[in-house]
Amino acid sequence: MIRVEHLSKAYRRKVVVDDLSFSVEGGEAVALWGPNGAGKTTVIRCLLGLVGYEGLIEVGGVDARTHSKVTRGLIGYVPQELGFYGDLTVAETLALSSDLRGLPRTRIGEVIEAVSLEAEAGKRVSELSGGMRQRLGMAVALLPDPPVLLLDEPTSSLDVTARRRMVSLLDSLRGPERVLVITSHRVEEVGMLVDRVLALEAGHLVHECPPGELAGRLNLESWLHVVLPSEQTVTALAHLAAAGFDAHENGHGVLVGVSPEDKVSALGCLREGDFQIMDFEVWR
Amino acid sequence: MTATVTTPGFSTPRVFELRPVTVIARKVVREASRDRWFWLYCAGFAVLAGAITMTAVPDQNLIGSGGFGRTAASLVALVQLVVPLMALTLGARYLAGERDSGTLVFLLCHPVSRTEVLVGTYVGLAASMFAAVSTGFGAAGLFSALRSAPTDPVLLIRLAALSWLLSLAMLGLGLLISSTVKSASTALGMALFVWLAVVFLGDLGVMGTVVATRLPVGALFATVIINPVEAFRLASVVALDGSLDALGPAGTYAVDRFGDGIATIAVGVMVAWTVISGAVAVLAFRSGDQT
């Protein structure tokens, strides 16, 4: 469905994407992962024909450079920074998008319902919260029921609850005919949403792997925060240190530096020492 | 060899379609109608046009058109200042403003071409300017009627048409600025500079050039008429049945050389500015990165 070959892009003289090649088959969900400045958003902009580039991009077998209007018709796009007309209502924004695509307005109600914006349909966009605007962006992208969905950091500006809801929505959008391309810098989020990760660094493809292998390939260290009764903290620190863990006191518990594979063994070590684990979470 | 995907509900759009142009034009008109600057300009133009009509003293000897000439001449002077300012700033702020607010990406991620976006924007702004010019001249006609002063409706419509044509040329220049700069504030600054150049510096520059280079009168005329504001003034003076001698040696030369054809040339200059600036704006907008 998407074929990218030897894609390169430079802004003035700064190379942002350098000789990048990948393809995405129908039904696949792929993440473009990388730190800020890795070139993820630029790849998305190239796919949409918003910027000029060197190399070849095909969407649905159509050249995105020479037939960008056709390829954009196949794509639903949710940008990282959502630019809407603030004086339009949610329903008017979707009507404008529908008219621009030459679609009947009959699907507007359906997509408003899909993103749970029924109560806000008559509200002006300027009155919406960040999470609601993100859902409106998703509604605009879903309006043509496109075979390709491009989502640029879809959860970056959301709080925990809205993020959980968005992840659930994205998961529901997966299908045998639909391609999902998501940019993200969150390893845990990528793991929940996609089949394959393309890890970018300074515009280069450095790893291509299943999401479960990403953290290991990148040697990413996590911090395991374990909440313990306060009287157990000092002895737990000594116990973990004796087992070879890098542990520190933190608030109501301990913070243990762990590789992706060591999270369970750190918890096991505390259980073996009869420490009362009250709660835990993983920080990256 | 690549196979083209056949997705139900998706048809191959033509390179240029009228549908997205009209959708974008309607959007632009609606936004202009909610823009306080647009209404401020409209109100200012209408009030000044009305004030000119109320205060002008009919004088059949000064200029033609049955006593309405002095009022009409004052309206021409007003249009020369206000309409270029309004059209240039409106055009220059528009696309650059859309870029600033991120709504340009919203438009361009739809299956519409950049040419359609720019042409739609131009048509919408041209319709808005038509409304503004009509409001100004409408106010002039209304006040004139209220005062029972001599009025020439045909002349008023002719001047309004020339004013709108001037606004189209200036809109083209404004959109050209908007297509090439990154921010609305830079675009506004450039638009004000161009306005100063065509309205004030054009005259001073021509005068300076004449003194410095002893320009032949034919070249002087060409230097004058290439300015769309001067072209508007020439066409308006002809419409007023006035003598071009009042415009100095260049006017005398124009009458001797071109006779009645001078109005056609002046209108042609404004049309040329409209077409050329619009076409260059399309090329500039199509070639750059839009992020």
pLDDT tens, position by position, A205-221? 988 888 877 777 776 66
Q: Which residue in B has a C-alpha nearest to residue A2's C-alpha?
A: B5
Residue A5, SS3? strand
Contacts of residue A124, Cβ cutoff 8 Å, sequence gap at least 6: A86, A87, A88, A89
| Average pLDDT rounded to a whole number, residues B200-220 | 72
- The alpha carbon of A223 is separated from its chain's Cα centroid by a whole number of angstroms, namely 21
Contacts of residue B85, Cβ cutoff 8 Å, sequence gap at least 6: B41, B195, B199
| Average pLDDT rounded to a whole number, residues B24-29 | 96
- Amino acid present at B199: V
Cβ-count burial of A244 within 10 angstroms (0-12 exposed, 13-18 middle, 19+ buried)? Answer: exposed
If you ran DSSP here, which 8-state letter would residue A35 be given? S
B237 falls within a domain: yes
Contacts of residue A201, Cβ cutoff 8 Å, sequence gap at least 6: A34, A35, A38
- For the ranges A32-36, A100-104, A249-253, the lowest mean pLDDT is seen at A249-253
Q: Does the distance separating the beta carbons of B13 and A61 come in below 8 Å?
A: no
Q: Chain-wide mean pLDDT for chain A?
A: 88
Residue B39 has pLDDT above 90, yes or no: no
Whole-prediction pTM: 0.82
For the segment A172-207, what is each residue's pLDDT rounded down to a tens digit? Answer: 888 888 999 999 877 777 777 888 999 998 899 988
Contacts of A140 in chain B (CB under 8 A): 106
Q: Which residue in B has a C-alpha nearest to residue A74's C-alpha?
A: B10
Share of chain B above pLDDT 90, in %: 44
Contacts of A77 in chain B (CB under 8 A): 109
Which is higher by pLDDT, B125 or B42? B125
Q: Count of CB contacts below 8 A, A vs B?
A: 94
Secondary structure element (H or E) that encloses residue A196, with its range = strand A196-201
Cα dihedral across residues B245, B250, B254, B257: positive or negative: positive
For the segment B254-283, what is each residue's pLDDT rounded down to a tens digit? Answer: 777 777 788 899 999 999 999 999 999 999
Residue A13 has pLDDT above 90, yes or no: no
How far, in Å, CA of A216 to CA of B216, rounded? 81
Residue B56 has pLDDT above 60, yes or no: yes
| Average pLDDT rounded to a whole number, residues B82-98 | 93
- Identify the pLDDT of residue A249: 83
CA quadruple A181, A185, A190, A194: dihedral, nearest 10: 20
- Amino acid present at B276: I
Contacts of B23 in chain A (CB under 8 A): 96, 99-100
How far, in Å, CA of B26 to CA of B29, rounded? 5
Question: CB neighbours (10 Å) of residue B18?
Answer: 13
Q: Which residue in B has a C-alpha nearest to residue A92's C-alpha?
A: B27
B84 falls within a domain: yes
Q: How many domains does chain B have?
A: 1
Range of the domain at B226: 17-287
Of the pLDDT bands very low, low, confident and very high (cuts 50, 70, 90), residue B2 is very low
B6 falls within a domain: no
Of the pLDDT bands very low, low, confident and very high (cuts 50, 70, 90), residue A143 is very high
- Amino acid present at B165: L
Distance from CA of A52 to the nearest CA of B (A): 6
Contacts of B101 in chain A (CB under 8 A): 83
B9 falls within a domain: no
| Average pLDDT rounded to a whole number, residues B234-240 | 85
Q: Which string of DSSP letters, residue by residue, matches B95-162?
A: HHHHHHHTHHHHHHTSS--HHHHHHHHHHHHHHHHHHHHHHHHHHHHHHHHHTT----HHHHHHHHHH
Q: Which residue in B has a C-alpha nearest to residue A81's C-alpha?
A: B102
Which is higher by pLDDT, A124 or B182? A124
Contacts of residue B102, Cβ cutoff 8 Å, sequence gap at least 6: A79, A81, A82, A83, A84
CA quadruple B53, B58, B63, B65: dihedral, nearest 10: 80
- Identify the pLDDT of residue B267: 94
For the segment B126-135, what is each residue's pLDDT rounded down to a tens digit? Answer: 999 999 999 8
With tokens 């911090």, the residue in question is A223
Residue A59, SS3? strand
A135-139 LR contacts (CB < 8 Å, sep 24+):
A135/A166, A135/A169, A136/A82, A136/A84, A136/A90, A136/A93, A136/A94, A137/A78, A137/A79, A137/A82, A137/A84, A138/A78, A138/A166, A138/A169, A139/A90, A139/A94, A139/A111, A139/A112, A139/A114, A139/A115
Q: Does the distance separating the beta carbons of B19 and A61 come in below 8 Å?
A: no
Of the pLDDT bands very low, low, confident and very high (cuts 50, 70, 90), residue B139 is confident
Residue A61 φ/ψ region, left for φ over 0, alpha for ψ in the -120 to 50 degree band, beta for the rest: left
Q: Does the distance separating the beta carbons of B289 and A60 come in below 8 Å?
A: no
Contacts of residue B26, Cβ cutoff 8 Å, sequence gap at least 6: B124
Cβ-count burial of B12 within 10 angstroms (0-12 exposed, 13-18 middle, 19+ buried)? Answer: exposed
If you ran DSSP here, which 8-state letter would residue B197 be given? I
How far, in Å, CA of A175 to CA of B51, rounded? 67
B3 falls within a domain: no
Which candidate, B63, B97, B112, places its Cα nearest to that of B185? B97
If you ran DSSP here, which 8-state letter would residue B13 be given? P
What are the residues of chain B with a beta carbon less than 8 Å away from any beta carbon of chain A?
2-5, 7, 9-10, 12-13, 15, 19-20, 23-24, 27, 31, 34, 101-113, 287, 289-291
Q: Does the distance separating the beta carbons of B112 and A100 come in below 8 Å?
A: yes
- Identify the pLDDT of residue B246: 59
Question: Please, which residues bridge with residue A226 across strands?
Answer: A254, A280
With tokens 């196949």, the residue in question is A74
Q: Does the distance separating the beta carbons of B109 and A58 come in below 8 Å?
A: no
Contacts of A58 in chain B (CB under 8 A): 2
Question: CB neighbours (10 Å) of residue B101?
Answer: 15
Pick among A87, A100, A133, A142 to test the B interface (most B CBs inside 10 A): A100
| Average pLDDT rounded to a whole number, residues B135-155 | 81
Q: Which residue in B has a C-alpha nearest to residue A62's C-alpha?
A: B4
Q: Nearest by CB to B20, which of A61, A77, A100?
A: A100
Contacts of A179 in chain B (CB under 8 A): none
Question: CB neighbours (10 Å) of residue A8?
Answer: 15
Pick among A4, A57, A69, A179 to test the B interface (most B CBs inside 10 A): A69
Query: CA-CA distances (angstroms) from residue B183 to A233, B99, B100, B188?
Result: 56, 7, 6, 9
Distance from CA of A99 to the nearest CA of B (A): 7
Which candidate, B190, B167, B168, B165, places its Cα nearest to that of B179? B190
Distance from CA of A23 to the nearest CA of B (A): 13
Residue A262 has pLDDT above 90, yes or no: no
Q: Does the distance separating the beta carbons of B34 and A50 come in below 8 Å?
A: no
Distance from CA of A239 to the nearest CA of B (A): 54
B259 falls within a domain: yes
Pick among B1, B2, B4, B5 to test the A interface (most A CBs inside 10 A): B5
Strand positions, DSSP E, A27-132: 29-33, 54-59, 62-63, 75-78
B114 falls within a domain: yes
B146 falls within a domain: yes
